[in-house]
Structure formats: C-alpha cells, structure tokens
Amino acid sequence: MRLRPDSPDWLAAYRALYDYPHTELSNASMSELSDKMDRVVAEQGDRFPEWVLDRTGIEVMLANRVNMGLGLESPRFRWVSFVDALMLPLSTKAEAAVSPDREKLFPLEDDLLRRYMADLEVEELPATLDDYLRTVVSATLQSQQSNESLSIGV
C-alpha cells in the first residue's frame, strides 16, 4: 500500500525532499513537482544521491547492487554486492515458468552469471560443484572484495 501513487507517504517524501507546498497530489501540482525534481537533479548532478541522503537525514546507505553508479561513493554509500546469480549455476527454465516475475528474472540472473564468469575468464561452467565454488563463486567474491568501493565484507 505504501508504494501506491496515492499513498500519503509520497506526499510526505515530496514535501521533505523538494519543499512541495501542496497538501495533495493533483495532476496540476504533479507537473510542477516534476519540473522541480528535474531542476534539482540537474543542479546536483552526480552529487544528487548524496543530496538525497542529506535531505532525509541518512548518514550511510547500504546499496545492494551489481555495481556502484555515479554519485554512489564511499563512505556515504556502502556497496553490498548483488551476487544472487552465483546461486543459480543450473538451468532455471522450470522455475522461470512458475510466474511472469520469474520468467523475466531468471534470464537476467543467467546473464549476470555469464558476466561474472567472463570477468574471471571462465568460459564454461565447471563440471563439479567444488570446482564451481572455487573457480566462480569464491573467485567472484574475492575479486569484488578487493574492489576499493566494496565496503561490506563478504
């Protein structure tokens, strides 16, 4: 319910972040708000994510992502690597067929696993679980942990 566009939480957030002066979210006021949001993003540039933390009183944000983007710099943003794909070395076709969400998710996970393997110059899945854990899982985690922007240990 909190994520629905008519949730009062959105109004409170817009007021806190953008000094939104209205007491409701009408079509006319949303256009005004959209223009203000665009201006703030343009003014802040790469510093926009840090500006949001400042405005909301958040000292540090844990960012569970594949990699860090522009403006997501340590120490304010701490990278928590997204490594779910490492848990799925076998075919996920049957699981993908269970729901539309999974049907979209699993091919993305497959792509990410292939990317992690390519980064390690591993061309095909190892034949055994032990080899997979050593040459893909542990090697990926070690590589990410040695990355300067990785702030949360694995």
Inter-axis angle of helices 27-44 and 8-18, nearest 10: 40
- Sign for the CA dihedral angle at 96, 67, 48, 17 comes to positive
Say how many Å lie between the first and final Cα of the chain, rounded: 34
pLDDT class of 148 with cuts at 50, 70, 90: low
Between CA 24 and CA 33 the distance in angstroms is 12
pTM above 0.85, yes or no: no
Of the two residues 66 and 131, the one the predictor is more confident about is: 131
The mean pLDDT of 109-130, rounded to a whole number, is: 94
User: Mean pLDDT of all residues in the chain?
Assistant: 89
Task: Identify the burial level of 77 via C-beta atoms within 10 angstroms of its C-beta, where 0-12 means exposed, 13-18 middle and 19 or more buried.
Answer: buried
Mean pLDDT (whole number) for 74-93: 90
- Give ∠ CA 84-85-91 in degrees, rounded to 5: 130
Question: What band does 153 get if pLDDT is binned at 50, 70 and 90?
Answer: very low
